[in-house]
């Protein structure tokens, strides 16, 4: 889709090569060279170099521009990684501050900013237990956007709640808490980590040994080489999804805060609606559960705004019509057709019952009346049945059998 941010896309071969070399010399410097030569390794490099960056430029920037003036925004990104989205935001924002617990990722982010010539970015690495304190200290005056881009699913429950509460506290009036590209733990399939159905719903005691069945070799090998004691944390860092539960625990009722649902065109073009999420949406709607439909998406992308959101909520984008779960509608139509047939058959049976009752009454009346010139009605009915029977193939066969028996007896 065409946006006003297209000029920021990373497509120039020289600039792409510069970012690639910067990341190979920093973030990827400790990777196994043999892995980097594999298709999986090359895909990982391309993902970090330009794919994630361009996705953010093409979809996330125009999406957020619906809710805030990005040109005057001070943005904090928690879990900035190697800076793909950080750099995209820095192209248009006043200032971006990126934080991560992984020092090598932050080193890669710094090299990316130098390669792109972006000087409105500050980057910091630190341990998870100290990060929230650092955020509050560094941004005592508040921020306009608190960004959680593909990060919630990699946090422990305690880290997640702390990040949400701290981010919301830091927001200025009218500020945005933004969650992007986070797998929903309530859907059936784990398309993020194990690539297996239901895996993300397993407790660690089952997830660790069951990881051996994953078709994703890197994940399978990582879990095979970890101890049982360390397996739960490793599963968490790989990512097992998030849901509305932690948001409600951290922030309370979500409906008055929710301005972006993930059903906007910019997000749908990046994350099309899936079969899984339509099933979840149907369940929520049919059950009448108080769950915002933004949290029925396969991948969570939503915007919470701090302030009076009546105008934004009035313009909130509704989910598109169901497309994948067509069998539900078809089944309903078939049930309705069957019900109509049953009703029609019942009416026909009632009419026949009334007709039989009338005939029985006429027969009873006829038996009490004096003899008339024409045969009684019951005799007429018998004659009609005999006449109809004579026209059937069974009558002909019976007649032949009787004739054959008579001939055989005469012998």
C-alpha closest to that of 274 among 216, 187, 201: 187
**What is the per-residue pLDDT for 328?**
47
The answer to whether residue 212 sits within a structural domain is no
Looking at residue 340, its pLDDT comes to: 74
Structure confidence at residue 66 (pLDDT): 96
Residues making up the chain, counted from first to last: 411
Residue 364: HSE in the Cβ half-sphere, 13 Å Cα cutoff = 6
Both 157 and 78 in one domain: the answer is yes
Residues 94 and 171 in one domain: yes
User: Environment class of residue 72 by beta-carbon count within 10 Å: exposed (0-12), middle (13-18) or buried (19+)?
Assistant: exposed
> Phi/psi zone of residue 262: left (φ > 0), alpha (ψ -120 to 50 degrees), beta?
left
Task: Provide the number of structural domains found in the chain.
Answer: 3
What is the pTM assigned to this prediction? 0.78
What CA–CA distance (Å, rounded) separates 28 from 34? 12
Task: Give the whole-number percent of the chain exceeding pLDDT 90.
Answer: 76
Q: What domain range is 400 assigned to?
A: 374-411
Same domain, 359 and 385: no
DSSP state string for 113-145: HHHHT--SEEEEE--HHHHHHHHHHHTTT-EEE
Residues in the chain with pLDDT values less than 50: 327-328
Instruction: Let me know whether 388 and 257 are in one domain.
Output: no
pLDDT tens-digit profile of 210-246? 999 999 999 999 999 999 999 999 999 999 999 999 9
183 plus 293 within the same structural domain: yes
Could you report how far apart the first and last alpha carbons of the chain are, in Å?
A: 99
Give the pLDDT of residue 400.
Answer: 65
- Give the CATH number, domain containing residue 53: 3.40.50.150
Residues 258, 397: one domain? no
SS3 151: coil
> 38 with 156, same domain?
yes
């Amino acid at each position: 889709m065409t946006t006003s941010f297209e000029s920021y896309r990373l497509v120039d071969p020289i600039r792409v090569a510069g970012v690639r070399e910067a990341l190979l010399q920093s973030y990827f410097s400790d990777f196994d060279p043999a892995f980097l030569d594999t298709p999986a390794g090359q895909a990982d490099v391309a993902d970090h170099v330009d794919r994630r960056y361009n996705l953010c430029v093409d979809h996330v920037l125009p999406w957020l521009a619906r809710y805030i003036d990005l040109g005057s925004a001070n943005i904090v990104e928690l879990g900035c990684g190697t800076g793909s989205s950080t750099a995209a935001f820095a192209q248009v924002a006043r200032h971006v501050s990126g934080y991560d617990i992984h020092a090598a990722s932050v080193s890669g982010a710094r090299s990316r900013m130098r390669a792109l010539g972006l000087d409105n970015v500050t980057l910091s690495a630190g341990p998870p237990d100290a990060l929230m304190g650092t955020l509050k200290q560094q941004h005592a005056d508040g921020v306009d956007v608190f960004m959680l881009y593909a990060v919630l699913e990699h946090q422990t429950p305690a880290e997640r709640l702390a990040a949400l509460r701290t981010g919301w506290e830091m927001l200025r009036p009218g500020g945005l808490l933004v969650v992007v590209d986070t797998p929903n733990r309530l859907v059936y399939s784990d398309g993020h980590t194990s690539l297996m159905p239901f895996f993300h719903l397993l407790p660690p005691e089952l997830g660790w040994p069951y990881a051996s069945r994953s078709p994703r070799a890197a994940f399978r090998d990582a879990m095979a080489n970890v101890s049982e004691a360390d397996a739960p944390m490793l599963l968490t860092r790989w990512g097992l999804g998030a849901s509305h539960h932690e948001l409600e625990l951290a922030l309370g009722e979500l409906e008055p805060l929710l301005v972006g649902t993930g059903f906007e065109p910019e997000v749908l073009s990046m994350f099309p609606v899936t079969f899984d999420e339509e099933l979840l949406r149907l369940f929520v709607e049919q059950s009448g559960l108080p769950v915002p439909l933004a949290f029925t998406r396969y991948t969570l992308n939503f915007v919470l705004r701090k302030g009076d959101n009546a105008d934004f909520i009035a313009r909130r984008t509704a989910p598109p019509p169901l497309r994948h779960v067509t069998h539900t509608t078809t089944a309903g139509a078939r049930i309705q057709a069957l019900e109509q047939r049953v009703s029609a058959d019942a009416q026909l049976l009632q009419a026949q019952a009334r007709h039989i009752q009338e005939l029985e009454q006429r027969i009873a009346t006829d038996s009490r009346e004096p003899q008339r010139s024409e045969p009684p009605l019951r005799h007429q009915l018998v004659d009609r049945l005999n006449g109809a029977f004579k026209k059937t193939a069974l009558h002909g066969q019976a007649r032949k059998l009787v004739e054959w028996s008579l001939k055989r007896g005469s012998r």
